Chain A
Amino acid sequence: MQDLGRPHAIAAGVQPGGAMDRFAHRAANLVVGNPEGDATLECTLTGPQLVAEHSCLVAITGADLDARVNGHAAPFWTGIFLGQGDRLSFGGRRSGGRAYIAIAGGIEADRWLGSASTNLLAARGGMHGRNLKAGDQISAAREATRPAVSGRHLIERMRPQYLDHTLFAIAGPHVRRLDAQGRGLLFGATFKVSREADRMGYRLDGPRLATSGEELLSFGLTAGAVQVPHGGQPILLMADHQTAGGYPVVATVVSASMPVAGQLIPGDELHFQEVTLERARQMRLTLAAALETLR
């Protein structure tokens, strides 16, 4: 279970958490008439099998895990009405890494430090601070505030281009610690998400980036930061990133590219493309406008 995380807790060293793909998370909520910050189910690589004990309105967004209702292909990014006894299941991953399931009325979850997001390290939030398991009962947090309307959907051209693994990024505070060749590799070479990839971050295989200079004193970090530890293997920080560190940050992926980053899985190739703040702003507004069509 994830929502938009607990940004205020980072001053205490608590990972911000929240959905890895916030666009898909927000869209799932908006399609079923929820506020965008309600908890959703984040399904990584595989989806659950859910049986509706009561009729409800749900939406599935993000990765294509072959969602099915009673065995029939279910529409995507669309409000779906489930009657009592209907079975929502997933055939298998076809593209992307994480699907999001929203239920009208929001998902009932433990809250911790202002968020329902599951924090496994602290064992707090979500379903008692743990991953879901077979037999768990998931309830709506409240009566749906708007009449249940199935069929509301996000039109295809407004969905993120998940198959294009270009991550737009802005040069980081320590980019000068790379030499000209290193900077060329950072914004030119192809990297691959390694097996060491989880909600904290992705270690990237590919060319090593040599950094120079003395050790840095630790400072606060952000999701999207590309850190280069000793050894030169970059790490892209994701939603459950450590809140502070002292490795050089050579780039930061812009907010509009984080939904694509959140869909990557080990083995996926990606590359970083440098953008201006103005271009990043336009990309952010394009995504915001897409969500606005669902309000």
Chain B
Amino acid sequence: MPPPPSTRPAPRVRIHPLGDTALLAELGTRLDTALNTRAIALAAALKKRRDVRQAVAGYTGVTVHFDPDQTTPDGLGAAIKRLAAKRPPMAEPGRLHRIPVVYEGPDLEEVAARLRLSPARIVELHSRPIYRVFLVGFVPGWAYLGPLPEELELPRRHVPRTQVPAGSVAIAARQTGIYPLPTPGGWHLIGRTSVKLFLPDSDPPCLFRAGDRVKFFAAKS
């Protein structure tokens, strides 16, 4: 009988130094919700340590900033391997955000043409899944959401835009996301939302947190 998912063997951890005050603990290299759950739990456990200044969960690993006067990469690496071997706490389903999207992005027609689908079908496919917040980062409030349905997979734009308006809903590869601020960007813009993702006067200053769930729905302009 196959073991239940919670007793899956612990992933092998690879520790890579990032200079003398940070390291990257890699649990794997594949897009995998279970690995991401483990990375988020590991980051939370590491943040409680006195020798850790900050721990940020990525898709499949944790970037750990540490106090070099209190620990060494080797010492901390050994502690990380012990922590990662423990069964992660039962993953609580993250908060669910329902995000209204006006699907009138400047790239919608082009995306539809390249994927040989109708714009209506793009909207249907994009708004169907409940996405996971794999990682918060890049710019303030940005969250990498996924996995995007395979039918919508496209590489990034060849030439990134120098300015993408805040609130743009975009896709690239197996990911989707919302631009929280006007920034340069290479993703395909298929819609926009009025929901604010970057909340400078809140702490944390962002709506989404790693592990949250996001459902888009089509709204009228």
A1-43 near B? 1/0 per residue, CB < 8 Å = 0000001111111110000000000000000000000000000
- Which residues of chain B come closer than 8 Å to A222, judged between CB atoms? 18-19, 21-22, 63, 65
Contact A219 B63, beta carbon cutoff 8 Å:
yes
Contact B206 A12, beta carbon cutoff 8 Å:
yes
A212-223 near B? 1/0 per residue, CB < 8 Å = 000111111110
- Which residues of chain B come closer than 8 Å to A221, judged between CB atoms? 63
Q: Residue A60 at the B interface, CB < 8 A?
A: no
Contact A220 B140, beta carbon cutoff 8 Å:
no
Contact A244 B19, beta carbon cutoff 8 Å:
no
Chain B 1-44 interface residues, beta-carbon cutoff 8 Å to A: 16-22, 24, 26, 29, 31
Q: Which of B17, B58, B200 contacts A124 (CB 8 A)?
A: B200
Contact B63 A220, beta carbon cutoff 8 Å:
yes
Q: Residue A158 at the B interface, CB < 8 A?
A: no
- Which residues of chain A come closer than 8 Å to B60, judged between CB atoms? 217, 219
Contact A252 B63, beta carbon cutoff 8 Å:
no
Contact A244 B17, beta carbon cutoff 8 Å:
no
Contact A224 B19, beta carbon cutoff 8 Å:
yes
- Which residues of chain B come closer than 8 Å to A249, judged between CB atoms? 18, 24
Chain A residue at minimal CB-CB distance from B62: A220
Chain B 29-79 interface residues, beta-carbon cutoff 8 Å to A: 29, 31, 53-54, 56-63, 65, 68, 72-73
Q: Which of B54, B61, B72 contacts A277 (CB 8 A)?
A: B72
- Which residues of chain A come closer than 8 Å to B16, judged between CB atoms? 172-173
Chain A residue at minimal CB-CB distance from B16: A173
Given A112-B200, A218-B135, A243-B56, verify A280-B18 contact (CB < 8 Å): no
Contact B72 A244, beta carbon cutoff 8 Å:
no
Chain B residue at minimal CB-CB distance from A173: B16
Q: Residue A169 at the B interface, CB < 8 A?
A: yes
Given A11-B204, A277-B72, verify A173-B18 contact (CB < 8 Å): yes
Chain A 182-208 interface residues, beta-carbon cutoff 8 Å to B: none
Contact B139 A252, beta carbon cutoff 8 Å:
no
Q: Residue B214 at the A interface, CB < 8 A?
A: no
- Which residues of chain A come closer than 8 Å to B59, judged between CB atoms? 217-219
Q: Residue B83 at the A interface, CB < 8 A?
A: no
Contact A242 B205, beta carbon cutoff 8 Å:
no
Q: Residue A99 at the B interface, CB < 8 A?
A: no
Contact A281 B18, beta carbon cutoff 8 Å:
no
Given A113-B205, A218-B59, A244-B135, verify A284-B20 contact (CB < 8 Å): yes
Contact B58 A217, beta carbon cutoff 8 Å:
yes
Chain A residue at minimal CB-CB distance from B19: A252
Contact B142 A13, beta carbon cutoff 8 Å:
yes
- Which residues of chain B come closer than 8 Å to A122, judged between CB atoms? 140, 181, 198, 200, 205
Chain B residue at minimal CB-CB distance from A252: B19
Contact B137 A220, beta carbon cutoff 8 Å:
yes
Given A113-B205, A242-B138, verify A277-B17 contact (CB < 8 Å): yes
Beyond contacts A173-B24, A217-B29, A254-B19: 8 other A-B pairs, Cβ-Cβ < 8 A, are: A12-B141, A13-B180, A218-B58, A218-B59, A225-B18, A244-B56, A244-B135, A249-B24
Query: Which residues in A have some Cβ–Cβ distance to B below 8 Å?
Result: 7-15, 112-113, 121-124, 169-170, 172-173, 215-222, 224-225, 242-245, 249, 252-256, 277, 280-281, 284
23 sampled A-B residue pairs with Cβ under 8 A: A7-B54, A12-B140, A12-B206, A13-B138, A13-B140, A13-B141, A122-B140, A169-B19, A170-B17, A217-B31, A218-B138, A219-B59, A220-B137, A222-B19, A242-B139, A243-B56, A249-B18, A252-B17, A252-B18, A252-B19, A254-B19, A255-B19, A277-B73
